[in-house]
Chains A and B, each alone.
Chain A
Amino acid sequence: MNFKDMINEQGICILEESDKKQALLKLIECAVNQGAVHQEKTRELTERIFHREGLMSTGIGIGIAIPHVRYEGVKKPLIVMGIQPRGVPGYAAIDDQPVQLVVMIIMGKNQHREYIDLLSHVVRFLKSDEIKNKLLQAQNAKDAYNLIKGA
């Protein structure tokens, strides 16, 4: 299970939002549309995502954030990604820099090992400046998707 295999074109969106809450909600909407959880469980997913953010920001620095959740309500493990080249201010990332790439990881309750692997894989993948910069220049989801697949 890795980032490249799990992401798909529909799971990538170029974000217009420039505030943390709106950006996360947009990604949650995207995840629900992709079938991560049942439609009626949207609220629970939202609560979980924001609960985790409340514990500590998932902004890991250098413009990247990885909001993530793992619980029994998840129907299908999923990654969605939001790109905001101007950056989302107020994300409270470790280095206080605006977040440009938001990768949301949603996993099932018993996927502890895959979850950690995937988190680790995503971090390593995006920490490469070259890929990150190319992604930020992508005009649409298709470009971004091809970029990831080709990397």
Chain B
Amino acid sequence: MVEWFNSIVNSISVSHLNVLIILGLALFGGTIGGKLFQKIKVPQVVGYIAIGIIIGQNLLHLVPLSVVKKFEPFNYFALGLISFMIGGELKLSALKKYGKQFISILFFEALGAFFFVSILVFIIGMFLLHNLVVSLVMALLLGSMSAATAAAGTTDVLWEYKTRGPLTSMLLGVVALDDILALFLFAVFSSISTMFLGVRGGNVLNELGGLGYELGAAVIVGGGSGYVLARLLRTFLDENKTLTFSIGAILLVLGLSVALKIDMLLSSMIMGILITNIAPIRSKEVFKLLDRVATPIYVLFFVLVGTSLNLGGINVVIGVLIVVYLIGRTAGKMIGARLGGLLSKAVPTVSKYLPLCLFSQSGVAIGLAILAQQRFPENIGGTVIVIITATTFLVQLIGPPFIKQAVVKAGETGLNITQDDLIKTIKTGEVLSKKSPLIAENTSLKKILAIFSRNDELYYPVVDKKKHLQGIISIDSIKETLMAQELSDFLLAHDIMEPPVTTCTATTPLTEAEDIMDHYHVDYLPVIKEDNVTEGVVERRGIQRYVATRLLDVENKTRSLG
């Protein structure tokens, strides 16, 4: 027994324990890093990578490269999962929904960034590196990645300013779908690039044939697995089996792709695309379940990416390329979006302001950079990942303020609001009817009846000569007098008014005014100034009418935007 125990203890070597500590450190540190970056509106993924850089070979040396290498299969799985989920975003119905105008803008802004970045990086790369192939490959890879726009850093601005309108819809659509274009560009150009680099060897025809085989096989493997998975999901409905089958399918596709020497990420992406389109409802659940288990996998993956980054490689060349990439991507997206908008005759606010909204960059670009790092030699892969990480950090800082400016100028802020949101912004004074009269204390019943018949309100303030509030006359207090005809000649406002329960001022927030009414069980509230001069009475139904009118204004304004 003791021997058995000892053998167990001995079998847990120090290096095993270290791996576990590294995993724990990566998850904790990464999550904290992500949160910190999220506070400054930079995607959490940059935070994960930053923590990896800190604990990795660049600074603390807590994680030796040999250990990082052990995680390779895990990294493949994480990348496969990411690709699968990105594929799940590509819904053909969404493409149809947004229509021609959208397609035009999407292609122009994404391809604009691709061409500008590719051309600029190629020229500057040639100038600095004097190496045609390296410059060309780097240009094509960075160009493909530059097409993607991040939802993070975009949607939270839109949400914060409660925007609604054509610019908002277009922006959301573009942000959701240009990632796919980036993926396709990357899939195609990274394959072509391996050909340029002669990684596979052989002549051009063989290379082209290889590329055709790779894409075709990826479609067959990914599509076939997707179809089988969709069938299985129809039979097995409970969550545990759904999750297990899905992860199993991803692993199988990855393994098959490795065995067949095809692009495993393209295959798993195609599987994602297939199931989201042939089994939209069941696949929604699949992606939800995966999303739940994905977080620790992502955190670990990106932290490990950070540990393997070699920042020692940053030099003037990379610094220049970072600037070139930023200029090319910004110019390409701005000009492309503008051109796409003008050519497709989009409403002016879209053509004019969408170009300012597309700077954000995140997960997809970084994911692709990581793929590049794995697939290409260090002088290309390492450079690409450093450029993408650094530029992501920068654009996430400058992107959101530009989006804010754009939506403000386009007049789309404050339109995506509910009744509750609206009420929170209103002060009681705004609701006061300007026409509604104050009733003097000595006004006769006859005149009061006339006031009631001419105006719409149910409550009127009774005031003295200084306009100080004396009481309230309601339709109820009038009702009592209808049975007392003999009094009609001599009853005054003073006689039939009721004492005000409480008051508020014009600056009282409407929500507070409503709370006061609830508290006192009344349907009105007199509004007075600081010097006690009466301004009027707000009524519950007046508030409802005012809010309804304002909401209608918002609707009309939204509609007028196009």
B441→A94 contact, CB < 8 A: no
Interface residues of B in 459-487 (CB under 8 A from A): 477, 480-481, 483-484, 486-487
Does B442 sit at the interface, judged by CB under 8 A? yes
Is the CB–CB distance between A127 and B498 below 8 Å? no
A52 touches B494 (CB 8 A): yes
Chain B contacts for A109, CB-based, 8 A: 499
Tell me, rounded to whole Å, the shortest Cβ–Cβ distance linking A49 to chain B. 12
Contact of B490 among A56, A70, A72, A113 (CB under 8 A): A56
B489 adjacent to chain A (CB < 8 Å):
yes
What's the nearest-Cβ distance from chain A to residue B480, in Å? 5
Cα distance A131–B538 when bound, in Å?
47
Contacts of B262 in A (CB 8 A): none
Once the chains are docked, how many angstroms separate the CA of A119 from the CA of B489? 12
**A120 & B496 in contact (Cβ 8 Å cutoff):** no
Contact flag A113-B489 (CB < 8 Å), given A55-B441, A55-B442? no
Interface size of A by CB at 8 A reads 22
Q: In the complex, which residues of chain A have a beta carbon less than 8 angstroms from the beta carbon of B494? A: 52, 55
CA distance A68 to B490 in the complex (A): 12
Known: A119-B484, A120-B484. A94 touches B496 (CB 8 A): no
- Residues of A within 8 Å of B498, CB to CB, are 112
The residue on A at minimum CB distance from B495 is A68
Complex partner residue of A124 from B442, B444, B486, B489, CB under 8 angstroms = B486
**B486 engages A120 (CB within 8 Å):** yes
Question: Does A60 make an interface contact (CB < 8 A)?
Answer: yes
Please encode chain A, from 106 to 143, with 1 for each CB lying within 8 Å of some chain B CB and 0 for all others.
00010011011101100110010000000000000000
Q: List the B side residues contacting A94 at CB < 8 Å.
A: 489-490
Identity of the chain B residue whose Cβ is nearest the Cβ of A65 in the assembled complex: B490
A residues less than 8 Å from B444 (CB atoms): 56
Contact, CB under 8 Å: A56 / B499:
no
Please give, as numbers and ranges, the residues of chain B lying within 8 Å of A123 by CB-CB distance: 484, 486-487
46-72 of chain A: CB within 8 A of chain B: 52, 55-56, 58, 60, 66, 68, 70-72
Question: B492 — which chain A residues lie within 8 A by C-beta?
Answer: 52, 55-56
CB distance from B491 to the nearest CB of A (A): 8
Contacts of B495 in A (CB 8 A): 52, 68, 70, 115, 119
Residue from A52, A71, A116 in contact with B496 in the complex, judged by beta carbons closer than 8 Å? A116
Chain A residues near B489: list those with CB within 8 A. Answer: 60, 94
**B residues near A68, Cβ cutoff 8 Å:** 495
B477 surroundings in chain A (CB, below 8 A): 112
Kindly identify which residue among A52, A56, A70, A116 contacts B487, using a CB–CB cutoff of 8 Å. A116
Contact in complex: B486, A116 (CB < 8 Å): no
The one of B441, B442, B487, B499 that contacts A120, using a Cβ cutoff of 8 Å:
B487
Q: B183-213: which have CB < 8 Å to A? A: none
Please, how many angstroms separate the alpha-carbon atoms of A110 and B259 in the complex?
A: 91
Within 8 A of A (CB), among B221-274: none
Please, which residue of chain B has its CB at the minimum distance from the CB of A60? Answer: B490
Roughly how many angstroms separate A124 CA and B485 CA in the complex, as a whole number?
10
- Determine how close the nearest CB of chain A comes to the CB of B18; give it in whole angstroms: 81
For A115, what are the chain B residues with a Cβ–Cβ distance below 8 Å?
495
From residue A32, how far is it (CB to closest CB) to chain B in Å? 22
Q: Inside 8 A of A55's CB, which chain B residues have their CB? A: 441-442, 492, 494
User: In the complex the two chains form, what is the Cα distance from A124 to B487 in whole Å?
Assistant: 9
Give chain B residues whose Cβ lies under 8 Å from the Cβ of A70: 495
Complex Cα–Cα for A113 and B481 (A): 9
Q: How far is the CA of A66 from the CA of B495 in the complex (A)?
A: 12
Task: Check A56/B442 contact, CB under 8 A, given A68-B495, A112-B477.
Answer: yes
Residue of B nearest to A124 (CB): B486
- B499 near A116: Cβ-Cβ < 8 Å: no
CB distance from B488 to the nearest CB of A (A): 10
- Bound CA span A71–B490, Å: 19
Query: From residue B495, how far is it (CB to closest CB) to chain A in Å?
Result: 7
Q: What is the CB-to-nearest-CB distance from B499 to chain A, in angstroms, rounded to a whole number? A: 6
Give chain B residues whose Cβ lies under 8 Å from the Cβ of A72.
499
Interface residues of B in 430-453 (CB under 8 A from A): 441-442, 444
Enumerate chain A residues within 8 angstroms of B484, measured Cβ to Cβ: 116-117, 119-120, 123
Cα distance A105–B371 when bound, in Å?
94
Contact A58 B486 (CB under 8 A): no
Q: Which residue on B lies nearest to A114, using beta carbons?
A: B480
For B442, the closest partner residue in chain A by CB is A55
Closest to B486 in A: A123
A96 to B487: give the CA distance in the assembly, Å. Answer: 18
Question: Which of B481, B491, B492, B494 has the most chain A CB within a 10 Å cutoff?
Answer: B494
Q: Given A56-B442, A109-B499, A116–B490 Cβ distance below 8 Å?
A: no
Chain A residues with CB under 8 A of B486: 120, 123-124, 127
Taking the closest CB of chain B, its distance from the CB of A43, in whole angstroms, is: 19
Complex CA–CA separation, A52 to B441 (angstroms):
9
**How does the 8 Å CB contact mask read for A65-87 relative to B, with 1 for contact and 0 for none?**
01010111000000000000000
- B490 shortest CB reach to chain A, Å: 5
- Collect the chain A residues with CB atoms within 8 Å of residue B487's CB: 116, 119-120, 123
Task: Name the residue on A nearest B470 (C-beta).
Answer: A51
12 A-B pairs whose Cβ atoms sit less than 8 Å apart in the complex: A52-B492, A55-B441, A55-B442, A56-B442, A56-B490, A70-B495, A112-B498, A113-B480, A116-B487, A116-B496, A119-B484, A120-B484
Interface positions of A (Cβ within 8 A of B): 52, 55-56, 58, 60, 66, 68, 70-72, 94, 109, 112-113, 115-117, 119-120, 123-124, 127
Besides A55-B492, A94-B489, A120-B487, 9 other CB < 8 A contacts? A55-B442, A94-B490, A115-B495, A119-B484, A119-B495, A120-B484, A120-B486, A123-B484, A127-B486
B residues with a Cβ closer than 8 A to A are 441-442, 444, 477, 480-481, 483-484, 486-487, 489-492, 494-496, 498-499
Closest 8 CB pairs of A and B: A120-B484, A55-B442, A116-B480, A123-B486, A60-B490, A113-B480, A56-B442, A55-B441
